[in-house]
A and B are shown apart, each in its own frame.
Chain A
Amino acid sequence: MSIWEYANPVRFLALSAKVQPFAWAAAAIGILVGLLWGFFGTPDDFRQGSTVKIIYLHVPAAWIAINAWIMMLLASLVWLVRRHHVSALAAKAAAPVGLVMTVIGLLTGAIWGQPMWGTWWAWDPRLTSFLILFLFYLGYIALWEAVEDPDTAADLTSVLCLVGSVFALLSRYAVLFWSQGLHQGASLSLDKEENISNVFWLPLIISIAGFTLLFLALVLYRTGTEISLRRARAISARLEPRG
């Protein structure tokens, strides 16, 4: 069995219908446990006070904002190379989810930054690349809406996605190779010594898992919606000459 079998919309929808109930349920549990534990069950940070509780929203939202674009990049590459419609529609379906997560990342970052840095915003490399990523999300969604032919729209948005990937990667890695700026280093790392304190770590990981599963559930459902719309358009086009 090959992964390319799921390029067939019928097979994709059948698999999606099986996965979705688990994804929705696990997402709800993950987000509820992560946020409730983080909000009610963790202490204040000795320097940041209670604002540290914003981490359970800010980091998962930023994680999804960046990785949604990476997922869109992979789906766009599949479209450009193999011309599978489901992959183009999955990329389209993921964009609004990534946009909302980028907005949450920007808003919670500004709200967190104001008391800690004394400013809502700074032209710091990570913040600036994240803002540009937000603008790329807007451009990507606008381009899908602006081009009438769906295959042309998929081609153009795929190219835009390739260009925007530079800023998605910059958002992730800017803090590692640009030492200037206000934003702190990564909160989580494979190197245990770089991680945040254990008391914050577990609810944060659960919250990130919950947000990731929510992204999965939303993208599966939204891809199903895009497939339905496309099929309805195709049937309408077939009916028109008769009518």
Chain B
Amino acid sequence: MMPELGKYAFEVLSAYGLSLLLIVALLAVTLRRGRRARAALRQIEAEARPDGKS
């Protein structure tokens, strides 16, 4: 299943590992910040309503 990478196995695998790690980290930070911002907006919009109800 695993292709024969020969003497460059470390270089190829580390390039893939580091890149995928960075992409996953970017996705995680983006989604976490987005969820927090949207939740904060919902809360403040509820507070801003005259009756204070969400």
**Residue from A35, A58, A108 having most chain B Cβ neighbours under 10 A:** A108
Contact between A235 and B15, CB atoms less than 8 A apart: no
Contact between B15 and A115, CB atoms less than 8 A apart: no
Contact between B11 and A228, CB atoms less than 8 A apart: no
Contact between A54 and B12, CB atoms less than 8 A apart: yes
Residues facing A in B4-22 (CB within 8 A) are 4-9, 11-12, 14-16, 18-19, 22
Identify 9 residue pairs between A and B in the complex whose beta-carbon atoms are under 8 Å apart, listed by A's number: A44-B6, A49-B8, A53-B5, A53-B12, A53-B16, A57-B15, A57-B16, A107-B19, A228-B38
Scan A87-117; emit 1 where CB is below 8 A from any B CB, else 0: 0000000001100100110011001101100
Contacts A107-B15, A107-B19 given; does A51 touch B40 at CB 8 Å: no
Q: How many A-B residue pairs have CB under 8 A?
A: 99
Residues facing B in A14-45 (CB within 8 A) are 35, 39-40, 44
Among candidates A35, A61, A111, A218, residue contacting B11 with C-beta atoms closer than 8 Å? A111
- Within the assembled complex, what's the spacing in Å between the Cα atoms of A96 and B28? 13
Give the interface residue-count category, chain B: 20 to 34
Contacts A50-B5, A235-B48 given; does A112 touch B37 at CB 8 Å: no
Residues facing A in B26-41 (CB within 8 A) are 26-27, 29-31, 33-34, 37-38, 40-41
Among candidates B3, B9, B22, residue contacting A40 with C-beta atoms closer than 8 Å? B3
Contact between A236 and B44, CB atoms less than 8 A apart: yes
- Within the assembled complex, what's the spacing in Å between the Cα atoms of A218 and B19? 16
Contacts A49-B7, A50-B6, A103-B22 given; does A232 touch B15 at CB 8 Å: no
**Main SS of the interface on chain A?**
helix
- Within the assembled complex, what's the spacing in Å between the Cα atoms of A54 and B26? 20
Q: Is A239's beta carbon under 8 Å from chain B? A: yes
Closest-by-CB residue of A relative to B48 is A235
Contact between A112 and B48, CB atoms less than 8 A apart: no
Scan A106-136; emit 1 where CB is below 8 A from any B CB, else 0: 0110011011000000000000000000000
Contacts A221-B30, A224-B34, A228-B41 given; does A108 touch B19 at CB 8 Å: yes
Q: How far does the Cβ of A159 sit from chain B's closest Cβ, in whole Å? A: 26
Q: Is A231's beta carbon under 8 Å from chain B? A: yes
Across-interface contacts of A238 in B (CB, < 8 A): 48
Q: How far does the Cβ of B18 sit from chain A's closest Cβ, in whole Å? A: 6
Q: How far does the Cβ of A211 sit from chain B's closest Cβ, in whole Å? A: 9
Residues facing B in A66-105 (CB within 8 A) are 96-97, 100, 103-104
Contacts A40-B3, A44-B6, A51-B8 given; does A111 touch B48 at CB 8 Å: no
Contact between A232 and B12, CB atoms less than 8 A apart: no
Contact between B15 and A228, CB atoms less than 8 A apart: no
- Within the assembled complex, what's the spacing in Å between the Cα atoms of A61 and B11? 17
Q: How far does the Cβ of B13 sit from chain A's closest Cβ, in whole Å? A: 10
Contact between B41 and A50, CB atoms less than 8 A apart: no
